[in-house]
Structure 1
Amino acid sequence: MNNATAITTITRALEDKPDIRALFLGGSYGVGLEDAYSDLDFIAVTASGPTDAFASLWHEAVSQTGEIVLWWDRQVKPMLINAVTADWLRVDVQIVTPAQTAQLTRGSLKALFDHDRIYDDLAPTLAVSEPNLRRLQWQFEEFIRILGLLPLAMGRHEYINAVTGTFHLRNLLIDLLIEETAAPNRGGALHLNRLITREQRDLLEALPALTPSREAVVPAYLAYATAYLPRARRFAQSLGIEWPGRLEEAMWARLKNELAIERPRVAH
């Protein structure tokens, strides 16, 4: 069953249920950025909240779109149900009470039915959020901390763990790139291409793939350091965040003393 038919099927199955006061589409569909690969993110407004009774109604509705092969009933979050059908239709629903709809905005939703005209009372859009300076400070320090663990991985011959370390460095770099663009519609984890620029994508694509060997680990860590640190330092300066310079100095001194790694010029 295609997404459009699934949306109609679920809507018709629930719109006459008294406890369900409204059903909206969120996520990519809510902001009009869906494509053939988008999942279905619903927001259900119920008088009683995320009850077992609602979960039963939701299961019955989703079952009409196909055989359910994955069902996470309020496991990840107490107000979230995740489902996947046999033809890999991904359907999520967030269950909120009318009082909790104040956190929603019209710009991020598409109304499927709305018995109490809740949509009309929502704010048009969310206010533009300022960068989380405390989290950014942690991210800068965490990147440097992971670099400082390189002698440990080399000394213990933990090259598989070093690959995992690179995964963390890559995620921190991606987080920084997204912060640089300040993309308004972040979407889910699988929407990176629309969140970063062509220059940023070229940077990521040029970074080496890492294999668990001593010969590959050190150059890869240095490549990530060279890509991340100058950008992060400039970004910190633009936001008035004090750069953890002493931590960085100690990290480079450790790498030089234990692995004879010189600090790249571009990282200054």
Structure 2
Amino acid sequence: MQPHLQPFRTFITKAIESIQQDPDAVGLAAGGSWASGDVDAYSDLDLVLVTNQKIAPELENMQVYAAKLGSLLASFQGDHVGEPRLLIALYESSLLHVDIKFLTPGEFHDRVEDPIVLWEREEILTNIIQQSTAQYPPFDFQYTEDRFWIWAHYAALKIGRGEYFEAIDFLAFVRNAVIGPMLHLKNSSLPRGVRRAETTFGVTELARLRKTVAMPDRDVLVSSLWEVMYLYESLRDALAPETFQKNTAAQLAVTRYVAAL
């Protein structure tokens, strides 16, 4: 066994022992890097706990159940990512970060990936996986185009006003919501922000992506904004479907505005 896997396996073994004592439990599965085989010493553990009785989104119920799986140091609900059924937890053993999604069998049908089943009763999870299809949310090019030039103008306003730290944060948002996902699509991977960008994107792509990272300096921020706009335009034109409609008027107006900064 690879040494870095031991803390994960130890936690999973103890978690299964606890869950098996619950007659209402249906199964436990692991997604993320565990399912893809990319686990390293710095990975978190993405678990899906399926029970007949609904546990989420009641935070207290989720925390009580999570505390049965190990020595729980801290936890909070995943509202910030739009998933109130998710509990983000930190366990004392090996200081392990574990994300636990609490689902019912019916909810398990709708998923973004096919997890590895760690334990189940009567092959319920396996049957659901075989009878349904995982669907990762697709990147919406039109949704992005309808917003991108407004976002770029907003970043320019922040730079112009001298709110450099706000501009830095906003460019980071655009990088994670737009540029990163499009680069992932270009590299035939799922549009997951800038996740594993360092090992997924090409050398030239990474060099351009670095140029979008700014310091609190007017000239550097303007340069980073230009790079964001250039990258978006080139990726959009290469990847967008035929039904896509550019907002050429907005693009031209914002480009002129940034040029006058």
TM (norm. structure 2) is 0.79
* Uncovered stretches (5+) of structure 2, i.e. residues with no partner: 1-5
Residue 60 of structure 1: which of 49, 62, 68 is its match?
Answer: 68
Contact 2:24 2:51 (8 Å CA) reproduced: yes
Whole-angstrom CA distance in 1 between matches of 2:41 and 2:239: 35
Q: 1:143 to 1:69 in 2, by over 3 A?
A: same
Whole-angstrom CA distance in 1 between matches of 2:42 and 2:105: 31
Q: 1:35 to 1:108 in 2, by over 3 A?
A: farther
Contact 2:171 2:212 (8 Å CA) reproduced: no
Number of the residue aligned with 1:143 = 148
1:72 aligns with 2:76: yes
Contact 2:78 2:87 (8 Å CA) reproduced: yes
Contact 1:233 1:243 (8 Å CA) reproduced: no
Number of the residue aligned with 1:215 = 219
Matches within 5 A, 1:242-261: 242-256=245-259, 258-259=260-261
Tell me the matched-pair count. 248
1:228 aligns with 2:232: yes
Deviation at 1:20, TM superposition (A): 0.9
The residue type paired with residue 26 of structure 1 is: G
1:97 aligns with 2:104: yes
Deviation at 1:128, TM superposition (A): 6.5
The residue type paired with residue 255 of structure 2 is: W
Number of the residue aligned with 1:121 = 127
SS of residue matched to 1:61: coil
Pick the structure with greater CA Rg: 1
Whole-angstrom CA distance in 1 between matches of 2:14 and 2:251: 56
Deviation at 1:115, TM superposition (A): 1.3
1:174 aligns with 2:180: yes
Deviates more, 1:36-45 or 1:223-232: 223-232
Overall identity of the aligned pairs, in %: 21
Whole-angstrom CA distance in 1 between matches of 2:77 and 2:39: 25
Whole-angstrom CA distance in 2 between matches of 1:74 and 1:155: 35
Matches within 5 A, 1:30-49: 30-49=35-54
Residue 5 of structure 1: which of 10, 20, 35 is its match?
Answer: 10
The residue type paired with residue 103 of structure 1 is: D
RMSD: 3.0
